[in-house]
Structures are given as structure tokens and as C-alpha cells.
Amino acid sequence: MLVLSQAKKQFPISSNLKSVARGRTLKTLFLAGMLLLLTAILTGCGGDGHHHERGVITGPGLVGIDDSEDATAPLLIVTYTVEPSPVPVTVNILSDPASDGDIAFDPVLNTFIVTTGPPEVFFGEDSSNMNLPEFRAFLTFPLDGITGQPVVPSNAVIVSAFLEVLVDQVNFASSIPTFLDLVQYPFRSLSAADFNTPILTPTSFKTLNFFSTDPGNFVRIDVTSLMQEAQLPPALLDFQVRFSVETAAALSSSRASSVEASRSVHSQLRALDNILLNRGSSSAKPLTQEALTSRRR
């Protein structure tokens, strides 16, 4: 199986080619959808018989999440207490762009394309054409303050946790069933192996829907139970999630039943008063090996 990986900082020429390939993939998804819809219309109107009767595009669809700047980047909002104090503390943690990314699997070429640090991450597929790639999106929220964001102590008792994302686009379906998985992958080293990396435990996931009315809005998702699992000893250094479409193929015996995550939507600009705006970019100077080795909470 061939794996294609992108490293924007070290190989700018490869990055440009990757960007072109990524754009072509998304353009292919759009054009394929339009072609299938046109085919269905022509077939229904008595076409010439040379078109396959594929029908109109059905779900699960493709979702794009903004990951471009502090004001719109994925945000983790955690409220916790630390004994013996009963006073709750709330922290806002922006995702780490050098760890964020998406992976596209091409079923025809049997290859993976790994993209890290893009301005927009994607997950989903066009289920009416199994020859098109499936995308899965990955987000990392450091909990130990290594990127300058607030810290969640390892002994913190989680009161609530919410993941907020700005939806850029929803294609091919009016409602997209989604898996939100709690996973672990190497910090700033997303690879093709993470496309199918196991969830932490059989209960380490939530289900929810994204809708065609979401683009342009912030969607806030309740991830309290996932954050509580991340705090179980030994507490995780990073809160890392994977978005993927909920399909029959994605279901397996490793998944227990899951309660659908509650979500809310708002269109107002994000209040930045309590957010540290030093998220950095995917091309920022990499952390030293000493700093990574000494990570602790």
C-alpha cells in the first residue's frame, strides 16, 4: 500500500504539488456530484440510454472545518475543579495547527494522502461513488501548555468540555452522520496509520450530525465524557479527536453503543477576551526533542 505524506515546512515544492492535488481531489468530488445529478435528470427525461442509472447523490457527504486563524480555529473549552477547592476553572485551548490535518484514502489507487497544517480540514465522502476518496479529519489540543495554551492539570476533575468548530462547507447531503472519536497519534506526526487508529476504549466516541445549514456557523459539541476519559490515569498529554463519516463499514465490534453528542450553533464572531492568541502556524520553528521528551502535566 502506497502512502503519500506532506511536510510543508521542509519541502515547499512538494507542498505546492500537494496543494494542487488536494484542490483537484475536492474539485473532482464536486464535479462528480454535479455529473451524477445531471445524469439522473437526463435519465428521468428519456436520455439516449448511454448513461448509467446511478440516481441522485446521497449521503454521507463531505464537511470542511476552518483551521486557518486564531479567531476561527478549533477550540476546546474545559471547566474543571482541583481538590480541595470547589471553585470551577474554565480554560480555552486552541488546537495545534502543526498537529491538525486530514487523511484522504483513495480506494482506486489504494493510497493515503496525509495533509498537515491546512487552513481547512475535511472529513467525509460521496457514498454514491465508491471510487472517490474518503477524508478523515484530526485535531489536537495540547493539555500541558507546550504550545503556550492553558494547562488542564492531570488531577483535574472535569465538570464540562465543549469542542467548537467553524464549519466552512457541507456537500452532497443535507444531514451527515458523523463519528467523533477520541484517539491518540504522535504529536505533530500525523501519518497514514492514523486513518484507522483504534479509539481509546470501546466507549471513546460520540455520534452527531452536521447539516447543510451549518456552513458559516460555529458548531459547539459536548465532549464532556471524552474529556473525562482523557483524564483517567495516566492522563493524556493531548486531547485528540478524529472526525469521520458514520457508515456501515466504520461500525465494528470494537465500538460499544454511544449516546449522540448534544450540539449548538451560533453565527456570532467568537469572543477572544479569554483566549490566548499565540497559536502559531504549521511552519513555526519545531519544538526541540528535549521539550517533547520532558512533556508532563
129-181: pLDDT as tens digits: 878 899 999 999 999 999 889 999 999 999 999 999 999 999 999 999 999 99
Give domain status of residue 96, yes or no.
yes
Cα 130 to Cα 32, 116, 124, distances in angstroms: 11, 25, 12
Give domain status of residue 175, yes or no.
yes
Residues of the chain with pLDDT under 50: 5-21, 24, 27-58, 253, 282-283
Give domain status of residue 115, yes or no.
yes
User: According to the model, what pLDDT value does residue 7 have?
Assistant: 40
How many angstroms separate the CA atoms of 256 and 269, rounded? 37
How many angstroms separate the CA atoms of 240 and 65, rounded? 15
User: According to the model, what pLDDT value does residue 130 have?
Assistant: 79
Q: Which of 93, 97, 105, 143 is nearest to 121 (CA)?
A: 97
Record the pTM. Answer: 0.80
**Cis peptide preceding 88, ω within 30 of 0:** no
User: According to the model, what pLDDT value does residue 155 have?
Assistant: 96
Give domain status of residue 37, yes or no.
no
Give domain status of residue 54, yes or no.
no
**Cis peptide preceding 84, ω within 30 of 0:** yes
How many angstroms separate the CA atoms of 278 and 171, rounded? 32
Domain that holds residue 208: 60-271
Give domain status of residue 122, yes or no.
yes
How many angstroms separate the CA atoms of 88 and 156, rounded? 10
Rounded (5°) CA angle 270-272-273: 135
User: Which residues, other chains included, contact 69 with Cβ-Cβ below 8 Å and sequence gap of 6+?
Assistant: 279
Joined together, the cell numbers standing for residue 128 give 454514491
User: According to the model, what pLDDT value does residue 284 have?
Assistant: 54
Phi, psi of 222 (to 5 degrees): -75, 115
Joined together, the cell numbers standing for residue 119 give 487552513
**Domain count for the chain:** 1
Give domain status of residue 84, yes or no.
yes
User: According to the model, what pLDDT value does residue 21 have?
Assistant: 42
Question: Are the beta carbons of 105 and 213 closer than 8 angstroms?
Answer: no
Q: Which of 125, 133, 138, 132 is nearest to 248 (CA)?
A: 125
Give domain status of residue 289, yes or no.
no
User: According to the model, what pLDDT value does residue 293 have?
Assistant: 74
